[in-house]
Amino acid sequence: MNRLSGVRMRSLRKTVLLSILVSVVLVLALIHTWPTRAYTTIEVWQRPGLVLDRNLEDRLLEPDPQLSTIPFHVRESVAGLLARNGCVCESEGVTLPILQILKSRVSAQSLNKAFQASELEELKKRRDKEFKSFQKRLQTPGDMLIIAEANNPLQYPTQGVETRPLKTILIPGLALQDHPRDHYSINLTATMGTLNVAAEVDGVKIQGDGEMRMTLSSSHLGKLNRQLQFVTYTNTLFHPNTADTVHFETEGHQANFIIKIRHGLTPKLYNTGTEGEYNISALVTIATKTFLRYDKLQNLIDSVRKYYPTVTIIIADDSQNPKSISGPHIEHYIMPSGKGWFAGRNLAISQVTTKYVLWVDDDFIFTSKTKVEKLVDVLEKTTLDLVGGAVQEVTRYTATFRQTISIEPGEADGDCLHIRKGFHHVIQGFPNCVVTDGVINFFLARTDKVQQVGFDPRLNRVAHLEFFIDGLGTLHVGSCDDVIVSHASKIKFPWASASESDKAYAKFRYQPASSDSLHSNFGLFYFKNRFQCFTRGISRIF
């Protein structure tokens, strides 16, 4: 009996020592991998939009006070081409039926007639709110007009000048600040449009008006500067998104400035209902991709319905023998068998009609911690395009998979892709949220931005970060660890045999590292993304 007790004591001591050793190793690993960088807290709130340029009348009637006494004569043929910050819905052409056959006409339809007068006012308010939010996210300081005041002695705009294709604008900020002399001359040269003046100033000679090169000259500096306030640019070579470089010179001095030529980005606004608390059913669609795992998919659907009974769930399914999935607010799309992971993502998200899409894997389970409203609040109040949550395993460990992604320019061999665990900043006002570049497979995103980046269908089995790599520079990504979805258990007990569907799924999903699939990913990196290599942080214990 004593001998047995001794054996038990030695066994207990070994267990305790082993536990202590494992604990020490885990602590060392945690210390080694714990981020040492001091993260800053930044503000990513939506800021006021840029002030639109004033109308032509304002610009002509409120000149530089020093030049206000200098008279001018408006050129109606040129001034009439300028945008006046307003469009009118009017028909053009003849109205008599017999003449309509002989002469073309332009019809006009007022779109607000699609709505009842009782609902139109509220609808306009919601549309204006969405449009202002769209503008705040779209515009950056790089779009603001900046004038380089004369120090060479030319004054000209350094950024912020823009016109629609084949349209006319006044060029702001042109001036000459020179020493007194008998004669002053300015040359302007464009390459994709013509130059003209919207008004003429007495005492200023104009040559080449209506052409790509124009010369203004005068013996009076004030009159020349007054004339420069009326210089126009008309784009004549159509391109939907390009820029013209205008050469600006005087005797002994020269400068260049850019005029952007592009269509304005057409808004894609979503009618999310009346004001008040977030209507998740009107704001969010849940999307997922499934393959064979119908039992897990049903568990996901059941958990969603427990908390969000009317939210639409879109399912892309490329199973070999697809089963019927039906129910309220469910859309089930059948794909060719084994079409693949990213192809399914493309299909599911292409059918989303709400402002936001929540991506989930088919083996996730919603719980009381899966507060989609919190993720909506982050996207509604910041400039972020996509925000990830956290996934909780059965072991109670939660993962956010936050990754920073950067591309280092290379030479002839291509660029270098660098991926590291971590994030850039904490988001002010959301202490559990950070700015990063890549997140886990549980995220809420602006539908239009995800559709803009898309998912490469060639990535059919193993892929995730590839989407965020393609979206680098397009997606503003965040991550919050206080919105948590549960993950179905992957623990395999020795006495439990895998189902046939699990075996078939594992055969497709878990392939060896040396497989063709992995090399296919490398091939896409090499050619499509022009990478020569990528580096990725690996945690070490010692």
Task: Give the model's pLDDT for residue 123.
Answer: 74
Supply the DSSP string of 59-91, one letter for each residue. HHHS--GGGTTS--EE-HHHHTTB--S------
Tell whether 403 and 458 lie within a shared domain.
Answer: yes
For the segment 103-121, the average pLDDT, to the nearest whole number, is: 67
For the segment 251-261, the average pLDDT, to the nearest whole number, is: 91
Task: Give the model's pLDDT for residue 13.
Answer: 63
Tracing tokens 């091939």 back to the chain, one arrives at 523
Domain of 237, in residue numbers? 56-85+141-262
Percent of the chain with pLDDT over 90: 49
Confidence class for position 370, pLDDT limits 50, 70, 90? very high
- CB 218, CB 227: distance < 8 Å: yes
Q: What CATH number did the domain enclosing 61 receive?
A: 2.60.40
Distance CA 334, CA 323 (A): 9
Report pLDDT digits (tens) over 298-330.
999 999 999 999 999 999 999 989 999 989 999
Tell me how many degrees the CA angle 274-279-282 measures, rounded to the nearest 5.
90
Report pLDDT digits (tens) over 182-238.
999 999 999 999 999 999 999 999 999 999 999 999 999 999 999 999 999 999 999
Task: Give the model's pLDDT for residue 300.
Answer: 96
- 500 lies in a domain? yes
Tokens representing 269 are 């606004």
Residue 131, classed as helix, strand or coil, is helix
Tell whether 342 and 257 lie within a shared domain.
Answer: no
Task: Give the model's pLDDT for residue 390.
Answer: 97
- Among 233, 262, 291, give the residue marking a domain's end: 262
CA distances from 541 to 16, 21, 33 (A): 21, 13, 8
| pTM for the full predicted model | 0.74
Confidence class for position 263, pLDDT limits 50, 70, 90? very high
Element (H or E) spanning 300, and its range?
Answer: helix 294-307
In the chain, how many domains are there? 2
- 390 lies in a domain? yes
Tokens representing 230 are 């009326």
Residues near 456 by beta carbon (within 8 Å), at least 6 away in sequence: 342, 463, 466, 470, 524, 528
Residue 189 DSSP symbol: E
Supply the DSSP string of 331-383, one letter for each residue. EEEE-STT--HHHHHHHHHHT--SSEEEE--TTEE--TT--HHHHHHHHHHBS
* Beta-carbon-side half-sphere exposure of residue 224 (alpha carbons within 13 Å): 23
- 7 lies in a domain? no
End-to-end CA distance of the chain, in Å?
44
Tell whether 199 and 304 lie within a shared domain.
Answer: no
- CB 473, CB 529: distance < 8 Å: no
Supply the DSSP string of 229-262, one letter for each residue. TTEEEEE-S--SEEEEEEEEEETTEEEEEEEEEE
Residues near 327 by beta carbon (within 8 Å), at least 6 away in sequence: 301
Confidence class for position 63, pLDDT limits 50, 70, 90? low
Tell whether 183 and 236 lie within a shared domain.
Answer: yes
Distance CA 365, CA 399 (A): 15
- 100 lies in a domain? no
For the segment 3-22, the average pLDDT, to the nearest whole number, is: 58
Tell whether 311 and 451 lie within a shared domain.
Answer: yes
Tell me how many degrees the CA angle 85-88-91 measures, rounded to the nearest 5.
150
Tell whether 342 and 378 lie within a shared domain.
Answer: yes
Tell whether 76 and 150 lie within a shared domain.
Answer: yes
Confidence class for position 50, pLDDT limits 50, 70, 90? very low
- Among 203, 227, 262, give the residue marking a domain's end: 262
Does 8 have pLDDT greater than 90? no
Tell whether 317 and 390 lie within a shared domain.
Answer: yes
What is the signed CA dihedral for 358, 385, 380, 85, rounded to 10 degrees? Answer: -130
Tokens representing 214 are 């124009």
Tell whether 252 and 324 lie within a shared domain.
Answer: no
- 309 lies in a domain? yes
Cis peptide, bond prior to residue 153, ω within 30 of zero: yes
- 200 lies in a domain? yes
Beta-strand relationship, 205-207 and 154-159 = unpaired
For the segment 258-272, the average pLDDT, to the nearest whole number, is: 88
Using a CB cutoff of 8 Å and minimum separation of 24, what contacts does 47-55 make?
47/136, 48/136, 49/132, 49/135, 49/136, 49/139, 50/135, 50/139, 50/143, 50/144, 52/85, 53/85, 53/145, 53/172, 55/84, 55/85
Residue 21, classed as helix, strand or coil, is helix
- Among 215, 232, 262, give the residue marking a domain's end: 262
Tell whether 342 and 242 lie within a shared domain.
Answer: no
- 334 lies in a domain? yes
Beta-strand relationship, 386-392 and 531-536 = unpaired
Higher-confidence residue of 53 and 482: namely 482
Tell whether 76 and 198 lie within a shared domain.
Answer: yes
Q: What CATH number did the domain enclosing 470 receive?
A: 3.90.550.10
Q: Which of 497, 495, 480, 381 is closest to 436 using CA atoms?
A: 480
Tell whether 289 and 333 lie within a shared domain.
Answer: yes
Residues near 185 by beta carbon (within 8 Å), at least 6 away in sequence: 215, 216, 217, 250, 251
- CB 229, CB 174: distance < 8 Å: yes
Task: Give the model's pLDDT for residue 76.
Answer: 83
Does 473 have pLDDT greater than 80? yes
- 222 lies in a domain? yes
Q: Which of the residue ranges 12-26, 379-393, 455-469 would you say has the lowest mean pLDDT?
A: 12-26
CA distances from 489 to 260, 364, 391, 395, 396 (A): 54, 10, 12, 9, 11
